[in-house]
Amino acid sequence: MIHKLRTAALLIACSAVLAGCWDIKDVNHRVLPIVMGVSYGKTNKYRVHIQIPFPMQGGLVSRVYYKEADTISKALTEIDTDIEAGIDFMHLQLVVFDRKVAEDGIQEAVTFIMRSQQMPTKALLAITSEEIGEFLNHTGRVIQTDGSSLINFFNKNAGWSPEINLAYLWKTFGAIQSDTEDVTIPILRSGKSTMLEFMGSAVMAKGKMKGEIKREQSLLINLYEELFQDSVVQVTNQASVAIVNCKNRIHADWRDQHPVLQIHMQLALHLIENNGNFNERQIEAAFSKDMTKRYEELFKQLKTLKSDALGTGQYFRSKMPFHKLQDWRDTYYPTLETEFTIESIIKNTGDIT
């Protein structure tokens, strides 16, 4: 008798838990969204778009759903309610923010996504100045003919370009909470001959867009993080090289009460084109000098924007009292001194003479 009562109590408890689930629709028939767009609404605070590819005979059909609400959570719930099969948000690949939202701050949206535990932390973030609906309609038309085109755009083994910054949800959330690190987020627009076009990167600080850098400068950030793949750089008007390997040694120290970052970068190059009279040593020297100048200009711009998008403060965390970390951006970062040593070595000249 006691055993039967315990079994009955357990069944009642399970029923109560299931009734309280956010979504108990058949998990085997949920649709798989790939893009979420967040912009300001016309009648409510947010307008949230969800792009979903539906498998059809002979290919895919992309559809875009949207709702307006004062919270992202409510908008997503209403979209999920309207779709009979339900949505499995764990398959989300990309979150696109309208530029105005990014400038005001994406802290609220990113924090919700992380805390909801309904979306993957490895999802990528991007920013666009286009109307979100038009942006997703364009990507949808491409997806209908090539279902992997979106993920390939960010895939290092497929269509990814080394100028494109990869802003992961988990990393962006960490930077928002950090006093010593910021991030950059790629700025995209609909491509004319391609699915997407990379315009540069948004420079973020505590979740707010403070400015932007050019796509050539975004390559510098990827190299700093040793993230690259055969990026071609023009050295002079008559010579170009491909960066095939990058190894960095970074040392942080204090000098006369201000932070100093010493960066030694070793770049392995392949000579792609040489239509001038430069020999290998001259090209190596010219490339090192040019890269040093580019990094100095990048650091100057980032400090002007008050964004530590290269995460230099991370190297000083162990060298500062904990209570002073909150002063990094305003007090110490503006006085940061950088010393670059860039060593370039041409490993392969091919058939070029």
pLDDT digits (tens, 9 = 90+) for 241-273: 888 889 999 999 999 989 999 999 999 998 988
CA distance 295 to 281: 21
59 and 156 share one domain: yes
Please, which pLDDT band fits residue 135 given cuts at 50, 70 and 90? Answer: very high
CA distance 98 to 340: 36
The domain boundary, picked from 213, 243, 270, lies at 213
pLDDT at 8 over 70: no
CA distance 346 to 60: 46
The domain boundary, picked from 165, 198, 213, lies at 213
Residue 311's Cα: distance from chain center in Å?
A: 14
| Cα–Cα nearest to 22, from 68, 115, 70, 86 | 86
pLDDT of amino acid 239: 84
Please, which pLDDT band fits residue 159 given cuts at 50, 70 and 90? Answer: low
Q: Helix H segments across the chain?
A: 2-19, 72-82, 99-104, 107-116, 132-145, 149-153, 169-177, 215-224, 280-304
pLDDT at 56 over 90: no
What phi and psi, each to the nearest 5 degrees, are found at residue 75?
Answer: -60, -45
Tally of structural domains, the chain: 2
Angle between helices 280-304 and 215-224 (to 10 degrees): 100
Range scoring the smallest mean pLDDT among 122-131, 171-180, 236-245, 329-338: 236-245
CA distance 122 to 126: 13
Q: Tell which wins on pLDDT, 143 or 308.
A: 308
88 and 131 share one domain: yes
What domain range includes position 320?
A: 220-353
pLDDT at 132 over 80: yes
Please, which pLDDT band fits residue 278 given cuts at 50, 70 and 90? Answer: confident
Q: Tell which wins on pLDDT, 201 or 279.
A: 201
Handedness of CA 168, 114, 50, 42 (dihedral sign): negative
Contact call for residues 64 and 121 (beta carbons, < 8 A) = no
Contact call for residues 249 and 183 (beta carbons, < 8 A) = no
Q: CA 140 → CA 34, 52, 107, 137, 217, distances in Å? A: 10, 9, 27, 5, 30
65 and 190 share one domain: yes
Q: At residue 1, what is the residue type? A: M
Domain membership flag for residue 6: no
Q: CA 10 → CA 19, 23, 24, distances in Å? A: 14, 21, 19
Domain membership flag for residue 7: no
CA distance 157 to 151: 10
| Cα–Cα nearest to 198, from 219, 181, 183 | 219
331: its two tokens: 């007090």
pLDDT at 321 over 90: yes
Averaged pLDDT for residues 95-104: 98
Give percent of the chain with pLDDT exceeding 70.
86
Averaged pLDDT for residues 285-312: 95
Please, which pLDDT band fits residue 124 given cuts at 50, 70 and 90? Answer: very high
Question: Which CATH number goes with the domain that contains 247?
Answer: 3.30.300.210
127 and 207 share one domain: yes
> Which residues are CB-contacts of 81 (< 8 A; sequence separation ≥ 6)?
none
205 and 255 share one domain: no
Give percent of the chain with pLDDT exceeding 90.
60
272 and 148 share one domain: no
198 and 333 share one domain: no
87 and 182 share one domain: yes
Backbone dihedral region for residue 241 (phi beyond 0: left; psi -120 to 50: alpha; all else: beta): beta
| Buried residues in 34-59 as b, exposed as e (16+ CB within 10 A) | bbbbbbeeeeeebbbbbbbbeeeeee
260 and 294 share one domain: yes
Q: At residue 348, what is the residue type? A: N
340 and 247 share one domain: yes
Contact call for residues 319 and 183 (beta carbons, < 8 A) = no
186 and 320 share one domain: no
Domain membership flag for residue 19: no
pLDDT at 169 over 80: yes
Q: Tell which wins on pLDDT, 106 or 227.
A: 106
Domain membership flag for residue 8: no
119 and 92 share one domain: yes
The domain boundary, picked from 213, 242, 257, lies at 213
pTM: 0.86
pLDDT of amino acid 27: 43
pLDDT of amino acid 158: 65
